[in-house]
Amino acid sequence: MKNRKIALFMLPLLTQGAGAEKYFINLAKNLSDMGNEVVVITMDEKFFKKFARLLHIFTHGNFFKKIDVSGREKEADIKNQLGGARWIKSSWGNLKEALNGYDIIYSKNELVDLFILKTIDYKKIPPVVVGVHTPIIYPSTGSFMSKLHNLLYLSFIYKWLLRGAKCIHLSNEFTKKLVDKNFKIKSKKIYYPFSKKYLIIENNSLELDIKFDNNKINIVFIARLTEQKGINSLVRIVAAIENKKNITDKIILNIFGSGDHENELKIKNINDKYSFVRWHGHIENKYVPWILKKQDFFITTAKWETLPFNVLEAQALGLPVIAFDIPGPSDIIEDKKTGYLVKSEDEFIEKIILLTNNPHLFNNQSIEKNIDDKFNPEKIYEEILNMFNENI
């Protein structure tokens, strides 16, 4: 197969460190390792600061207060993780020229990312494949912003933004059916390529000054502290477990993550109130495998996902995972075989108790094998390259 020049495009700086950024970095590195010329193109700091300001005005009424857009990750670490791929930060004025040096563009699916490409004009740049890394539909909507998201992403506006793109790449079955029903665009479902060998090879020498209690069952939660990640559910679950003293004496819940002030305050409150909760704050992505290897099982209370990296990482290292039965986790976890997919907070609590009392209920090697088989990198990277070639 002919080697290609591939541009991966997203608005946020790679130092933001979310799941989509991690995916783009891994994709760039491994496609580059296969002999392709790969670049990740993001908007530059000047543009991103303006975008962040507009977003804060709309969501928080923050017109003047300082906004930290430096991100969670170090730029030197990002460049190291990219391997032979490159990262270019572009202004809006230079973006068309930057993109036109490549055979195909793979873009994140958010409204603003697509709007930027639409204003340049799809006809004046290489073919665009849109990767769905932000769910088109949030199954659970509590806030005004989540309701607005659902309204916009099924509207004529989003359909107009997609018009001109060649193909849409989906990573779970629910979204594939949704897109095929609501959008007139070619679609392709391909899981994210994933393997534990990347985690271990790149991170086995990294350690943190954190002491875990080896005499207790260590449960871990690693995510941004946001509505999407189900922080309110996490707080309610912790409060309910506190009433079960025969369980709280056996466990430590290690929480890693940061977010806005309101959600951080909620986590700080349960950290101060309950002796079995330990909130460690934000952690750089490179330390996640070291942390996971010291835990007994992983929990995620997310309300919506595409194909969550934190679940992939935990399962790739053999950890059972408890998650709500939503698209994304349900594509990764084999219910009752590699973890549990639950319907309610009460059932979530039941499964935490069950795994606490039976920490060896699941076979760690079987969990790892499920990830190796389903998300095999060699097979999936070939599928991704085939998708690109079909649309050039």
CATH number at residue 121: 3.40.50.2000
User: Does the pLDDT of residue 69 top 70, yes or no?
Assistant: no
Residues 112 and 239 in one domain: no
Say how many domains are in the chain: 2
**High-pLDDT (> 90) share of the chain, %:** 82
The answer to whether residues 365 and 307 belong to one domain is yes
SS3 per residue for the chain: CCCCEEEEEECCCHHHCCHHHHHHHHHHHHHHHCCCEEEEEEECHHHHHHHHHHHHHHHHCCCCCCCCCCCCCCHHHHHHHCCCCEEEEECHHHHHHHHCCCCEEEEECCHHHHHHHHHHCHHHCCCEEEECCCCCCCCCCCCHHHHHHHHHHCCHHHHHHHECECEEEECCHHHHHHHHHHCCCCEEECCCCCCHHHHHHHHCCCCCCCCCCCCCEEEEEECCECCCCCHHHHHHHHHHHHCCHHHHCCEEEEEECCECHHHHHHHHHHHHHCCCEEEEECCCHHHHHHHHCCCCEEEECCCCCCCCHHHHHHHHCCCCEEEECCCCHHHHCCECCCEEEECCHHHHHHHHHHHHHCCCCCCHHHHHHHHHHHCCHHHHHHHHHHHHHHCC
Answer whether residue 352 shows pLDDT above 90: yes
The strand pairing partners of 170, in sequence order, are 189
* Residues 226 and 306 placed together within one structural domain of the fold: yes
> Are 187 and 208 within one domain?
no
Whether residue 200 is predicted with pLDDT greater than 90 in this model: the reply is no
Residues 294-331 have pLDDT tens digits of 999 999 999 999 999 999 999 999 999 999 999 999 99
Residue 55 and residue 78 share a domain: yes
Question: 231 with 335, same domain?
Answer: yes
383 shares a domain with 236:
no
Regarding whether 141 and 245 lie in a shared domain, the answer is no
* Confidence at 208, pLDDT banded by 50, 70, 90: confident
Domain of residue 109: give its range.
Answer: 5-193+376-390
60 or 17, which is more confident?
17
Q: Find, among 4, 3, 8, 5, the residue nearest to 88 by Cα.
A: 8
The 10 Å Cβ neighbour count of residue 85 is 23
Q: Is the same domain home to 250 and 159?
A: no
Q: Tens of pLDDT along 210-246?
A: 889 999 999 999 999 999 999 999 999 999 999 888 9
Residues 183 and 213 both lie in one domain: no
In this predicted model, what pLDDT tens digit does every residue of 96-114 receive, in sequence order? 999 999 999 999 999 999 9
Summarised one tens digit per residue, pLDDT across range 21-45 is: 999 999 999 999 999 999 999 999 9
- Is residue 205 predicted with pLDDT exceeding 90? no
Answer yes or no: do 147 and 203 share one domain.
no
Is the domain of 155 the same as that of 220? no
